[in-house]
Amino acid sequence: MSRKILIKLLFGGAMLAGISGSFAQEVKENNQKEFGEFINRKGTYTRSASGKPNVGYWQNKADYQIAVTLDDSLHTLTGNITLTYTNNSPENLDFIWMQMEQNRFTEDSRGTLTTPIQGNRYNGDVDGGYEIANLQAKVGSKGSVSSKHIVSDTRMQVWFNEPIPAKGGTATVSMDFSFKVPVEGMDRMGRLEVEDGWIYAFAQWYPKVAVFDDIEGWNVEPYLGAGEFYLEYGNFDYKVTVPYDHIVVGSGELLNPKEVLSKELLDRYAKAKDSDTTVMMITAAELGNTELTRPKQNGNVTWHFAIENSRDIAFATSKAFIWDAAKINLPSGKKILAQSVYPRESNGQEAWSRSTEYSKASIEHYSEKWFEFPYATATNVAADIGGMEYPGLNFCSYNSKGEGLWGVTDHEFGHNWFPMIVGTNERRYAWMDEGFNTFINHYSTQAFNDGEYPSNLNETRRYTNFFTSETREGIDTYPDVVNIGNLGMLAYNKPAMGLLMLREYILGHERFDNAFKSYIKTWAYKHPQPTDFFNHMENVAGENLSWFWQGWFYGTGNIDLGVSAVVPYAGNYVIVLANKGDMPMPVLLEITYDDGSTEQKMLPVEIWQRGDTWNYLLKTDKKVAGVVIDPAKLLPDVNLGNDSWPQKLYDN
């Protein structure tokens, strides 16, 4: 390289006047737009600029009493519901909107009509839907009864004869409902026939109130497919009547074990609650032996459950369930129950016989690391469902085994933190639950049995094809709008990588963990928006991250950091860096010297504030043999070829 070319490279033709022999940092037009503010994150009366609920924050409350009966010959569920609704908002409400998600399973539902001919993961039967009768709605205990309601696809508007008063007014809505249980239930619920009978997985099974909040008012997006749920918190008391030979597991605590379990099962149940290893409640050999395991030998039995401060409930029932359980130890000293139910087809130590071990480890890890699990049970149910989460209860594929079963079990239980505890709007912001959960799954998998199963979230360069694809979309794309082929990256992996970069590369463990745990604690059982998350992380971690939120969460740009040259200068070295990507990023350099020693230097993100090149003066009396950016290859940098000097064709 000639001296003339070298000077041009280092100075871009410009030198600071009067400073002979000094390197002048080139001043260019700022092409790193992410340093500017991108969305309005100013505080409001309801949500503070520090990312906390403000003095005016409110949310409404929904308490439910439900009783249902399963007819396993007709595959129908029939029952009644009473919703007690508390209006904590500052305005009177003439009506409420309710979610009627079983109406997705009809021929003319919006979800059916927007499903491609070839189908997708969210296939659903079309011979179902709710039948509603005896609807009664009234305000307070003495209000007049209204039956006025309008059903519109997967929503129902219920009108009152007088408004529900603001700031604490209450209303009740009761109705009878029934529906045919689909076989294919959008990969979230349904029924599966196995050797010993049917497995029924019940989710989205009762009419539930929609969220009325300070951001959108009524959140009434229809249930289409990819978009999941956004629900109010409250207390649930529910009863499930099934044939005498069924076992029922559900969200929350079983309140009447003496009425539904035999003396032998009660003894095993008590033993499991005190055991760190899995205790068999019903073995494969005992399937069908109802005299041993059931208190009745004919008719129906009613199982009674309750859960507090929850946003939803789900349950499963079958006469084909093998059942096992063990104790979960929580940081506070509280003991709760992990349990699994599965058919004989799923039995075996390489398969579902380890489910309770996985469940226990998952709940204990997240409780210790982030926030304590709040419910009485953590139940894993084997069903014909790839993986779906509800408060304290999962549905996972009955075909899963080994690493796959660990992965789906751990992921679905991780959802108890996002969005069951931190109640985000899944229908709009899938990344705030799927992405955050995928992130915490990375650490739980690393911790389980000292890494029995691998986690590859930190191998971010495996996804270069997506990041360079012309069809890529932004994380902020709504899940029902996004290209189905992009959903896995946009809802799960890319936001999870974003948090990984924050923790492992940008903020460090201590600052990130303080902020993330504070976010969970602050917004537990509440409804944070994306701006609340951004503001809270910045305020607790003490870092303006606007450039990161804009570049990673609200754009499709990529990271491409490079080493252009390493030049001897005045007994030291100048490392010439370039940012050829679309977003700024701190630069971690690993320098290798000719004596084999290495050292690392972290340059702050602000080096890119005025342009896309930077000259770093490395002071050393050693000879530099090599320089590498991001030696752990944590960043999803789309260009492997310019990460090192001397330049290599491949970086390992």
Residue 174: which of 103, 235, 98, 75 has the closest Cα?
98
- What pLDDT band is residue 19 in, cutting at 50, 70 and 90? very low
- What pLDDT band is residue 32 in, cutting at 50, 70 and 90? low
**What CA–CA distance (Å, rounded) separates 586 from 484?**
33
108, 168: one domain: yes
549, 565: one domain: no
Q: What is the domain-level CATH number for residue 598?
A: 2.60.40
Can you read off the two tokens belonging to residue 114?
A: 């927007």
pLDDT more than 70, % of the chain = 94
> Residue 17: pLDDT above 70?
no
Q: Is residue 141 part of a domain?
A: yes
Strand 393-397's sheet: what is its strand order?
Answer: 279-282, 322-329, 335-342, 377-383, 393-397, 387-390
Taking each helix axis from N to C end, the angle separating 355-369 and 402-414, rounded to the nearest 10 degrees, works out to 40
Q: What DSSP line would sit under 435-454, residue for residue?
A: HHHHHHHHHHHHHGGGTSS-
Which pLDDT does position 119 carry in this prediction? 83
Q: Is residue 582 part of a domain?
A: yes
% helix / strand / coil in the chain, to the nearest 5?
Answer: 25, 30, 40
- Tokens 């085994």 — which residue? 401
| End residue of a domain, out of 519, 553, 587 | 553
519, 580: one domain: no
Which pLDDT does position 649 carry in this prediction? 59
Q: Are 617 and 574 in contact (CB under 8 A)?
A: yes
> Residue 10: pLDDT above 60?
no
588, 531: one domain: no
534, 602: one domain: no
Q: Is residue 339 part of a domain?
A: no
**What CA–CA distance (Å, rounded) separates 228 from 226?**
6
Can you read off the two tokens belonging to residue 123?
A: 């296939």
- What pLDDT band is residue 4 in, cutting at 50, 70 and 90? very low
pLDDT more than 90, % of the chain = 90
Q: Is residue 486 part of a domain?
A: yes
pLDDT tens track for 384-408: 999 999 999 999 999 999 999 999 9
**What CA–CA distance (Å, rounded) separates 135 from 173?**
7
Q: Is residue 71 part of a domain?
A: yes
What are the strands, taking DSSP E only, across 144-286? 149-152, 155-164, 169-180, 184-185, 189-194, 197-202, 208-209, 212-213, 217-218, 234-243, 247-250, 253-254, 279-282
480, 591: one domain: no
Residues of the domain holding 116: 57-232
> Residue 43: pLDDT above 60?
yes
> Residue 6: pLDDT above 60?
no
Supply the mean pLDDT for the chain. Answer: 93
| End residue of a domain, out of 184, 206, 232 | 232
Q: Map residue 401 onto helix, strand or coil.
A: coil
494, 624: one domain: no
510: which residues sit within 8 A by CB, 6+ positions away?
A: none
pLDDT tens track for 197-207: 999 999 999 99
Which pLDDT does position 27 carry in this prediction? 45
487, 618: one domain: no
635, 492: one domain: no
pLDDT tens track for 441-458: 999 999 999 999 999 999
Q: Is residue 295 part of a domain?
A: no
pLDDT tens track for 282-307: 999 999 999 999 999 999 999 999 99
Q: What is the average pLDDT across 469-491?
A: 92
> Residue 567: pLDDT above 80?
yes
Q: What is the average pLDDT across 120-145?
A: 95
> Residue 235: pLDDT above 70?
yes
Please give the model's pTM, rounded to 2 decimal places: 0.94
- Tokens 């003490």 — which residue? 542
Q: Is residue 461 part of a domain?
A: yes
| End residue of a domain, out of 232, 249, 272 | 232
76, 204: one domain: yes
> Residue 648: pLDDT above 80?
no
**What CA–CA distance (Å, rounded) separates 447 from 330?**
17
**What CA–CA distance (Å, rounded) separates 336 from 339?**
10
**What CA–CA distance (Å, rounded) separates 404 from 334?**
30
pLDDT tens track for 329-344: 999 999 999 999 999 9
What domain count does the chain have?
Answer: 3
For β-strands 197-202 and 189-194, DSSP reports them as: antiparallel
Q: What is the average pLDDT across 232-259?
A: 98
> Residue 16: pLDDT above 80?
no
Q: Is residue 99 part of a domain?
A: yes
Q: What is the average pLDDT across 54-69?
A: 98
- What pLDDT band is residue 3 in, cutting at 50, 70 and 90? very low
Give strand pairing partners of 598. Answer: 592
Can you read off the two tokens belonging to residue 381?
A: 């149910």
> Residue 541: pLDDT above 60?
yes
Which pLDDT does position 28 carry in this prediction? 46
Q: What is the average pLDDT across 164-179?
A: 98
**What CA–CA distance (Å, rounded) separates 523 from 529?**
10
> Residue 30: pLDDT above 70?
no
> Residue 96: pLDDT above 90?
yes
DSSP designation for 52? S
**What CA–CA distance (Å, rounded) separates 155 from 528?**
23
Q: What is the domain-level CATH number for residue 499?
A: 1.10.390.10
110, 185: one domain: yes
Which pLDDT does position 60 carry in this prediction? 98
Indicate the burial class of 652 (C-beta count within 10 angstroms; 0-12, 13-18, 19 or more). exposed
546, 571: one domain: no
